[in-house]
Structure 1
Amino acid sequence: MDKRALKRLEKILFVMLGRRPDAFGIVLDKGGWLSIKELHRALDEETGMSHITPRGLIQFLSLYKPEKFEYQENYVRVRPESQRPDLTIYNEAKPPELLYVSIRPKAHGHVMAHGLQSSVNKKWIVLSTEKEMALKIGKRRDKHPIIAEISALKSNEAGVVFRRAGKAIYLVEGMDVQWMKIPAPPPVKEKDKRKKSKLSKARPDSRKIPGGDAPLLEKIGAFVLRDTPSHIISSGLDKKNRKGKFGDRDHAWKKTGAGRKKGAKNKRTT
């Protein structure tokens, strides 16, 4: 990047991390830190920034070393002295009547059963006053997120604590499904159905068969030998009892042969 592009990147990162992270759907950790991965996802949505990779961000911070930024172990922040004073102070606040949250389609069933819960890696559930912002945040993890409606005011009156993180962002540690209006997941595309069907057919059935029998090889097209032919059994016994070069053959032929040779010899001598 030339100097002009570097300055433009520095300016937008300063706004994202030091002034208005909420305008980009970003929630900073304590101290103002954000992972490079999360920063890249948000930056990728901005006009003229989609060409910048996570590695490009690291190089920018490590080599260009902008004065207002601090970079440590794949995390970045605006230095405390340059941050907005209340940047990471998330005070309790009364929410509006409705808020919106994005859900990955894969997590639809789990959310329907258990609601939304924070985790070690995700301290807050991020809610927005605008559907567009909820969709924007959701698309960072899934191309087709589900947007659920939250009865925020009613849940707050029932005891759910909300914290404000900017003009359009609210945070909660969890949300029970009773306060959520969750649309049905999008239908599975025919292409995805065929792909799933092919994968299931390619995998042999490894389930146990009741009764102890296991004709599993037959199910995948293999030949199963059930009754061992007698000639194989006798062959095995012959090998077991074999003693010499010719095995355990009847030695009567030796006696007969010897007798014939002796008789022939006597005839020649007489």
Structure 2
Amino acid sequence: MNRRKQVEQFAKMAAYMLGRRPDEFGLVPDDSGYVAIKEFIKAVSELEGWRHIRVSHVTEIPLMLDRPPVETDNERIRAADRSLLPRPLPCPDPPRLLYVCVSLKSYPIVATDGIRPTFYPRVISTPDADLARQWGKRRDNNPVNLVIQTALAVEKGLRFDRLGENIFLSDAIPPGCFTGPPLPKETVTEKKEKKVDAIDQYIRQSQAGSFFLTPPSHAPPSKFSRKDKDASWKQNKKRLRRDKKQFWPDDEKG
């Protein structure tokens, strides 16, 4: 297959993804139909036979084709024909359960503050748990899968919009409206304590082999009292006198 034919096939697939079924690939076009090229490439790289696609392949489309089916604008891409592009529509009766994945690092915060938009203006969820995990791996190799209880969310006044068949959009999901696995044992507080312990360890190591001029306040009391020291000094003085008489008798005579 020549190079031009390969570009045509890639452009045709891109037009389908961006102009007909973006929800099938976890993509949410903006009001003008654009998607970030980086997000588009992440979706394409999940497809068998297209994992080699890079930004250069996207920029090559308008250079190789006379009437390209996609349009690029700096770091964005969209389908040239958007007549069949699905638009978000209100969904008053969403599926009972929706799934969304978050990164393992952000999960403790999400569990406390709720699910909030990150890379898109709204939270993206899907009724397919496998799709949610696949899309979540674009951010984290081991994402945390959360289950949204839509009935609880609707009771709290949340609104869901449906995009195509696979995507449901919401402004946020508050705590209590979703479930997830137990939080990791290592919390933020424990991490801070570990840092403090590391600092203490460094101080101890840096002081190894050194000594203090002032003895520590918790030093044990001396074994001998002052009275014992005075008595010992007097005994030593008497002994020195006896030794002097024994070894230098001439001095006594003189």
- Decide: shared fold, TM above 0.5: yes
Alpha-carbon offset, residue 89 of structure 1: 2.4
In structure 2, the residue matched to 1:247 is none
The two structures have a TM-score, normalised by structure 1, of 0.67
Mapped to 1, the partners of 2:202 and 2:125 lie a distance apart of 51
**3-state SS in 2 of match to 1:100:** strand
The two structures have a TM-score, normalised by structure 2, of 0.70
User: Structure 1 residue 220 and structure 2 residue 218: aligned?
Assistant: no
**3-state SS in 2 of match to 1:155:** helix
Whether the 8 Å contact between 1:28 and 1:88 is mirrored in structure 2 is no
Alpha-carbon offset, residue 66 of structure 1: 4.9
In structure 2, the residue matched to 1:165 is 163
**3-state SS in 2 of match to 1:76:** strand
Whether the 8 Å contact between 2:21 and 2:86 is mirrored in structure 1 is no
Q: How many pairs are equivalent?
A: 205
**3-state SS in 1 of match to 2:6:** helix
In structure 1, the residue matched to 2:225 is none
**3-state SS in 2 of match to 1:60:** helix
Deviations 1:90-114 (A, max 9, x none): 1211201111111111111001100
Whether the 8 Å contact between 2:86 and 2:164 is mirrored in structure 1 is no
1:146 to 144, 147, 150: 144
In structure 2, the residue matched to 1:28 is 29
Whether the 8 Å contact between 2:22 and 2:29 is mirrored in structure 1 is yes
Mapped to 2, the partners of 1:56 and 1:42 lie a distance apart of 14
Q: CA RMSD in A?
A: 3.0
In structure 1, the residue matched to 2:5 is 4
**3-state SS in 2 of match to 1:148:** strand
Whether the 8 Å contact between 1:30 and 1:88 is mirrored in structure 2 is no
Mark the runs of 5 or more structure 1 residues left unpaired by the alignment.
189-195, 208-214, 228-270
User: Structure 1 residue 102 and structure 2 residue 88: aligned?
Assistant: no
Amino acid at match of 1:113: T
Mark the runs of 5 or more structure 2 residues left unpaired by the alignment.
214-254
**3-state SS in 2 of match to 1:177:** coil
Mapped to 1, the partners of 2:135 and 2:82 lie a distance apart of 23
Deviations 1:100-137 (A, max 9, x none): 11111111100110001225x52010010110111111
**3-state SS in 2 of match to 1:117:** coil
Output aligned runs, 1:239-258, within 5 Å. Answer: none
Deviations 1:21-47 (A, max 9, x none): 111111111111011100010000011
In structure 2, the residue matched to 1:245 is none
In structure 2, the residue matched to 1:264 is none
Mapped to 2, the partners of 1:58 and 1:223 lie a distance apart of 64
